[in-house]
Structure 1
């Protein structure tokens, strides 16, 4: 099996557009943000925003993996089921922890402990992906640069439209996660916009209307599938 993706050059990983390079870039950003939060040097409001940035990146990244990458690994590698089941369990535990964080505030004595546990699991998840799953995916596609770039484009498209907050009861695998992801993503991204200060009446109308349209589309699709 190839070495950890942290030990390979961009060229060895298939180029800048490769899914392996994109994954590594996200992992580095998560590590930077977690270190920034843990340092405790930011003002309280900015520190809360850093935690929010970590949560949004973690869940959009994981959803894209579960939708695009892990099905490919299960299909191509004999040990794909074992490897992806392990990381899916980590994702579920992170979901549960971050949902618990959302039920506490910074003044709650459990808050910092839950954040520390979540960060520890996120770091473990990153190690497992960089050292096991992604090198195995690289091997399974026979280092095919075109295929790695195609996976990268698909993964990035899904990540940019994925849910950004924990949904512990949502399915972890296609097609269930993809179907659930449409309304969940609409809900999350409307909430993110409001939290970021998108308060203007016109903006509210646009984002809420968009969410309603997406949810209606999903309902119609399900109705057609039942006939």
Structure 2
């Protein structure tokens, strides 16, 4: 893994984020109460911005190197994950059946990440110039900075869908996040 984010390529960045996702799954499962809710909120946010950036930048590049079949399968997995994550978010960590559904969701997300790491990322490294991979990491970071922070399954998984729906959804999500943060911090 790269030590400087300025020289980190997109594959290293995404693998690092996959590790953060794995850690957050463990944190959600081992916590309770407010700590579990907060860990789940961080997981939701990371997955939402990560997948939006992948759909906008990484999958289109990977389609050229790994092929339509591989990328289409990942997009289908991401659609299913967005739908389930949205339902889990609405259910809440204390909701009936959350733990069972969360365990199934975790397996699906970790399988998805493993597929990307085995099928897409090596092909990106094989076919895309190293400088472009570093530039893509910067573009992914920029996309994540303005991406929605909640899953929006109805927006789709295409780059065009992310370009059209992403900015207004991101504004709404970030406003909702700010209000929620303020409310939690100002409870009597």
Scaled by the length of structure 1, the TM-score of the pair is 0.75
* Aligned position for 2:42: 53
2:17 aligns to what SS in structure 1? helix
Higher relative contact order (CA 8 A, sep 6+): 2
- Give the one of 22, 25, 39 matched to 2:16: 25
Structure 1 residue 183: Cα displacement: 0.4
Q: How far, CA to CA, are the matches of 2:52 and 2:94 in structure 1?
A: 30
* Aligned position for 2:105: 118
Whether the 8 Å contact between 1:16 and 1:22 is mirrored in structure 2 is no
Q: How far, CA to CA, are the matches of 1:111 and 1:16 in structure 2?
A: 40
* Aligned position for 1:133: 120
2:119 aligns to what SS in structure 1? helix
Higher helix fraction: Structure 1 or Structure 2? Answer: 2
* Aligned position for 1:164: 149
Structure 1 residue 139: Cα displacement: 1.2
Whether the 8 Å contact between 1:19 and 1:151 is mirrored in structure 2 is yes
Q: How far, CA to CA, are the matches of 1:90 and 1:59 in structure 2?
A: 14
Structure 1 residue 177: Cα displacement: 2.0
Pairs within 5 Å for 1:62-101: 62-74=51-63, 76-77=64-65, 79-101=66-88
Instruction: List gaps (5 residues or longer) in structure 2.
Output: none
Scaled by the length of structure 2, the TM-score of the pair is 0.89
2:159 aligns to what SS in structure 1? coil
How large is the RMSD of aligned CA atoms in angstroms? Answer: 2.1
Structure 1 residue 105: Cα displacement: 3.5
2:124 aligns to what SS in structure 1? helix
Whether the 8 Å contact between 2:25 and 2:106 is mirrored in structure 1 is yes
Aligned residues: 184
* Aligned position for 1:35: 26
